[in-house]
């Protein structure tokens, strides 16, 4: 297994739209294992392939307390959504920034697992927030792009300053 480098906002590659996975083979299953290791070591509760510069529709998630419930979503599709809720979000590609974002409160998502088996998840709470956040990544959208332009400018300035300070 391997820990993969995570692209950092405002890297342009975070805006690429990911392509559908057409064949679920051992190379995809290795990427799933590497992404899971990368997510757990970050630590985070989700990771989209886009964030590790692989532009295919693949997401790993684990919102369990014991970090023992890995969920793999290949070619995830939002089937339906209900309600609206504001939640605080973070992102492994935007370190140190936590902001409120409004999203659907409950979602139904259809996907394939790492063996190509179709499944549907009815999600609420952190799982619902996280799935929507990760599907945004696959569509080239970073969570800060839900915020006002003023906030986005401030966040970019803050990240630039932090980068200067650590170099």
| Token digits of residue 113 | 């697992």
Phi and psi, residue 117, nearest 5°: -85, 125
Residue 44 interacts with which of ligand K1U, Zn ion, none, CB < 5 to 8 Å by class: ligand K1U
Residue 45 interacts with which of Zn ion, ligand K1U, none, CB < 5 to 8 Å by class: ligand K1U
Could you tell me which of 102, 104, 100, 71 has the C-alpha nearest to residue 88?
A: 100
Beta strand 58-61 pairing with 99-103: unpaired
Which is catalytic among the residues 37, 122, 124, 134?
Answer: 134
Positions touching ligand K1U (CB under 6 A) are 43-48, 89-93, 129-130, 133-134, 137
Q: How far is the CB of 17 from ligand K1U (least distance, A)?
A: 16
Chain residue at closest Cβ approach to ligand K1U: 44
Q: How far is the CB of 124 from Zn ion (least distance, A)?
A: 19
Catalytic status, residue 134:
yes
Residue 134 interacts with which of ligand K1U, Zn ion, none, CB < 5 to 8 Å by class: ligand K1U
Positions touching Zn ion (CB under 5 A) are 91
In the chain, DSSP assigns E strands to 46-48, 58-61, 71-82, 85-89, 99-103, 106-112, 118-124
Q: Which residue has the tokens 């405002």?
A: 10
Q: Which is nearer to ligand K1U, 11 or 116 (CB)?
A: 11
Q: Which is nearer to ligand K1U, 36 or 47 (CB)?
A: 47
| Token digits of residue 89 | 């979000």
Residue 89 interacts with which of ligand K1U, Zn ion, none, CB < 5 to 8 Å by class: ligand K1U
Cα separation of 91 and 140, whole Å? 14
Q: How far is the CB of 17 from Zn ion (least distance, A)?
A: 16
Distant-in-sequence, close-in-space partners of 55: CB < 8 Å, separation ≥ 6: 13, 16, 17, 18, 19, 49
Q: How far is the CB of 124 from ligand K1U (least distance, A)?
A: 14
Active site residues: 134
């Amino acid at each position: 297994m391997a820990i993969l480098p995570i692209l950092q906002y405002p890297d342009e590659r975070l805006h690429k739209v990911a392509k559908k996975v057409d064949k679920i083979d051992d190379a995809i299953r290795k990427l799933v294992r590497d992404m899971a290791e990368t997510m757990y070591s970050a630590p985070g509760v989700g990771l989209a392939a886009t964030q590790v510069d692989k532009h295919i529709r693949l997401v790993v998630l684990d919102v369990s307390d014991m970090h023992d419930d890995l969920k793999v979503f290949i070619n995830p599709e939002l089937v339906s959504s209900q309600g609206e809720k504001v939640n605080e979000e973070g992102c492994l590609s935007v370190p140190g920034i936590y902001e409120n974002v409004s999203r659907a409160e409950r979602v139904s998502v259809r996907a394939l697992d790492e063996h190509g088996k179709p499944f549907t998840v009815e999600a609420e709470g952190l799982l619902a927030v996280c799935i929507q956040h990760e599907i945004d990544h696959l569509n080239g959208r970073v969570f800060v792009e839900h915020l006002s332009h003023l906030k986005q400018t401030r966040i970019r300035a803050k990240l630039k300053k932090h980068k200067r300070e650590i170099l």
